[in-house]
């Protein structure tokens, strides 16, 4: 059975690969992007035979009214939305003290509040259908902190908590939620078109800041993750009867997340006695 997808951040990278993979399977796709001209141009490269199953719509996820307009267009064209992929986002890197408040707010406006705007718009459609699947693109940085990525990781940790709780709220309506936790994938994420660094340069951080940018720049377009293979995996998950709540994408994500879980368990066990000592003392049996 074919499905109708609604994909944010579909102009390039992982989002565009998901568009191609869903169409190749025979599904319908609503592909959205903040720069509509660039989105439309990217979609022109797709086979003409897929045009009747494809709709392009402008959407800056940080603007709630645009999310509603795009969702209305999707339902008007295809009648339903089966799969929502909240992929739109960017990486605000840099050491925390070198980031201005406005940059932090922009990061959350897109990665967190933008994701919520779109989800809030699509959920009523899925509830009426009593069926749907929401993919929220988190990151290995939503499970594990990284030096020089405090604000980006904070936004993805927020997506993790939101999604785990949302899954409990919507399960009764036949709606599933999957957190996609990619490691490093070979996209434009780390090049100048996407990544951003702090502008408030501090002398104490100068060596660390320079090393951070050099490290990420050297790794750009050399990441191990293949966006095409990730897209194929998500299309498979969308058609599974019982998809997972968490999906670690890439061998680096698998290893990194398992290491975090092991370290967390060991730390809890190390301090277990002190942790449990913070309860009220148990009431003695037989006392009055």
Catalytic residue among 62, 138, 150, 209: 138
85: number of CA atoms within 13 Å, CB side? Answer: 30
Catalytic residue among 3, 20, 28, 156: 156
Q: How many beta carbons lie within 10 A of that of residue 200, not counting itself?
A: 13
Q: Is 152 a catalytic residue?
A: yes
Q: Is 162 a catalytic residue?
A: no
Catalytic residue among 152, 162, 197, 216: 152
Residues with a known catalytic role = 138, 152, 156
């Amino acid at each position: 059975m074919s499905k109708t997808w609604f994909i944010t951040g579909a102009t390039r990278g992982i989002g565009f690969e998901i568009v191609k993979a869903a169409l190749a399977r025979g599904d319908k796709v609503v592909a959205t992007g903040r720069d509509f001209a660039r989105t439309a141009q990217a979609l022109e490269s797709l086979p003409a035979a897929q045009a009747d199953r494809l709709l392009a719509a402008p959407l800056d996820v940080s603007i709630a009214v645009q999310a509603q307009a795009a969702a209305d267009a999707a339902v008007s064209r295809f009648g339903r939305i089966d799969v929502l992929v909240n992929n739109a986002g960017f990486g605000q890197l840099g050491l925390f003290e070198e980031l201005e408040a406005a940059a932090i707010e922009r990061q959350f406006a897109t990665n967190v509040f933008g994701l919520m705007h779109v989800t809030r718009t699509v959920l009523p459609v899925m509830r009426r259908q009593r069926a749907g699947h929401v993919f929220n693109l988190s990151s290995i940085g939503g499970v594990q902190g990284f030096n020089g990525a405090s604000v980006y990781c904070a936004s993805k940790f927020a997506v993790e908590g939101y999604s785990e709780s949302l899954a409990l709220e919507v399960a009764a309506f036949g709606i599933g939620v999957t957190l996609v936790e990619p490691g490093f994938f070979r996209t434009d994420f780390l090049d100048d078109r996407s990544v951003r660094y702090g502008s408030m340069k501090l002398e104490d951080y100068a060596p660390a800041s320079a090393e951070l940018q050099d490290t990420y720049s050297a790794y750009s377009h050399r990441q191990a993750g293949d966006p095409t293979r990730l897209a194929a995996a998500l299309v498979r998950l969308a058609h599974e009867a019982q998809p997972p709540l968490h999906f670690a994408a890439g061998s680096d994500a698998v290893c990194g997340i398992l290491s975090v879980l092991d370290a967390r368990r060991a730390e809890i066990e190390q301090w277990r006695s002190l942790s449990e000592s913070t309860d009220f003392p148990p009431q003695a049996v037989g006392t009055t």
